Amino acid sequence: MKDRGPHPALRTILNDTTEVSYSDLDYEIAGRESTTSDSLARLLTIGCLSRLDPDRTSVDIWDPAAGIGYAGFLIADALQSVGVQVKYRGQDINEQAVSACQRRFAEVSDAKVNLGDTLAHDTFPDFEADLVIVDAPFGLSWETSADAIETRRESGAFHFGLPRVSDGTWLFISLALEKLRPAEQGGGRVAALVAPAALSSVDGAAIRERIVEAGLLESVTRLPAALAPNTQITLYLLTFTNRSPSSGRGKVAVADMQTQYTTERRHRSMTPISFKELESGLRTGKPGKRNRVIDVQQLIRRSAELSRTTPEGLRFSWRIDTYNDTPIDDSLLKLRYSDLDPRVVVGVPAFEKTKVLVLVDN
């Protein structure tokens, strides 16, 4: 199919360099964790719209951690500016943020924003989305919602499983994927902002692995550090789709945009050209200076504890990591440690600690 260029709704996102950030009033009322910077909102918009069919006349958007609604409104406004009918449904646990979000969407004819804990209860149970944006709090413990989450799981939600209670990132992503319109009805796309720990910690390893093995991961983009108003860490933009991705099953698009930023008055933002570069890479799948398509196995790191006991009875142990989904087995141990006697063994009980999703430095 001939490339028709960026979706018309992205014209302002890609070309307008004027940052229209959240208002000072909203910031003071709702707090940093409920706000999204202009750069991150634009990145979520690009993640959602880069492969959206430009002939679509209506789009349904779900925003499970809406905050003050800036990112969701940016997407909705961009679509409406080119005549696309938008239906928006948002939810957030912060009452002040919900009020700010409702004010922001007052001019959108079919928009509803409800107060509630999304992990515990979906206030729009029958809503099916074409696009979902996930900008949930990083490292959020879901311990206080555990009983409700378990009840929902028993009823069919969270079918990718439950991570440990220390971080709910993959619970939001799981719900987002379950909220998408079924693939046979056209499917949809999720754009999510996550912290590095969400890609590498043991806490979400099992649920993360099931989602990746289901072929739903579409892209992983490393962003510049300090783009968020509430953290200085480097974030990642992930996109998922339940449609057949352009790169094919078992493939994933990766991009490294960590150096593509400017700083003005201590405020860091993405450069206009970097938005265009990322959008083009996500839309076309063609390799560029900072993006390419790889086998998903190249993102998988394995980790295990090894040990050996010397003839004198001294025991040594250490950790080993392998990349490109390389198994930690007898063949690997023999290749690496054939000169040691007695031989090195995988820690007892014998298992690989975890498979994690990482963007490997090259």
Higher per-residue pLDDT: 243 or 347: 243
Looking at residue 130, its pLDDT comes to 98
Percent of the chain with pLDDT over 70: 87
pLDDT in tens, 10-64: 988 888 766 555 444 566 666 666 688 889 999 999 999 999 999 999 999 999 9
Beta strand spans in the chain (E): 58-63, 85-92, 111-115, 131-134, 189-194, 217-225, 234-241, 251-256, 261-264, 267-270, 291-295, 300-309, 315-322, 345-346, 354-357
Cis peptide before 342 (omega within 30 of 0): yes
Looking at residue 231, its pLDDT comes to 77
Measured in degrees and rounded to the nearest 5, phi and psi for residue 44 equal: -65, -40
pLDDT in tens, 196-205: 988 887 777 7
Tokens describing residue 345? 């063994």
Are 1 and 48 a contacting pair, CB within 8 Å? no
Looking at residue 299, its pLDDT comes to 81
Please give the mean pLDDT across all residues of the chain. 87
Looking at residue 345, its pLDDT comes to 74
Neighbours of 355 (CB within 10 A): 19
Count Cβ atoms within 10 A of the Cβ of residue 292 and give its class: 0-12 exposed, 13-18 middle, 19 or more buried: middle
Looking at residue 360, its pLDDT comes to 41
Looking at residue 59, its pLDDT comes to 98
pLDDT at 354 over 80: no
Are 150 and 135 a contacting pair, CB within 8 Å? no
- Under CATH, to which class is 8-289 assigned? alpha beta
Rounded to an integer, what distance in angstroms lies between the CA atom of residue 125 and that of residue 137?
22
pLDDT in tens, 83-92: 999 999 999 9
pLDDT in tens, 124-157: 999 999 999 999 988 889 999 999 999 999 999 9
Looking at residue 361, its pLDDT comes to 44
pLDDT in tens, 91-116: 999 999 999 999 999 989 999 999 99
Sheet of strand 291-295: strand arrangement: 111-115, 85-92, 58-63, 131-134, 189-194, 234-241, 217-225, 251-256, 291-295
Rounded to an integer, what distance in angstroms lies between the CA atom of residue 86 and that of residue 111?
8
Looking at residue 19, its pLDDT comes to 56
Looking at residue 303, its pLDDT comes to 80
H-type alpha helices, the chain: 11-15, 24-30, 38-49, 70-80, 95-104, 146-154, 169-179, 197-200, 205-213, 272-284, 330-337
Looking at residue 350, its pLDDT comes to 41
Collapsed DSSP state (helix, strand, coil) of residue 305: strand
So where are the chain's domains? 8-289, 299-357
Count Cβ atoms within 10 A of the Cβ of residue 114 and give its class: 0-12 exposed, 13-18 middle, 19 or more buried: middle
Measured in degrees and rounded to the nearest 5, phi and psi for residue 295 equal: -70, 140
Looking at residue 334, its pLDDT comes to 82
Higher per-residue pLDDT: 347 or 287: 287
- pLDDT band for position 78 (50/70/90)? very high
pLDDT at 353 over 70: no
Neighbours of 211 (CB within 10 A): 21
Looking at residue 362, its pLDDT comes to 36
Higher per-residue pLDDT: 162 or 310: 162
Measured in degrees and rounded to the nearest 5, phi and psi for residue 83 equal: 85, 10
Higher per-residue pLDDT: 118 or 20: 118
Q: For 215, left (φ over 0), alpha (ψ -120 to 50), or beta?
A: left
Q: Which residues pair with 255 in a beta bridge?
A: 221, 291
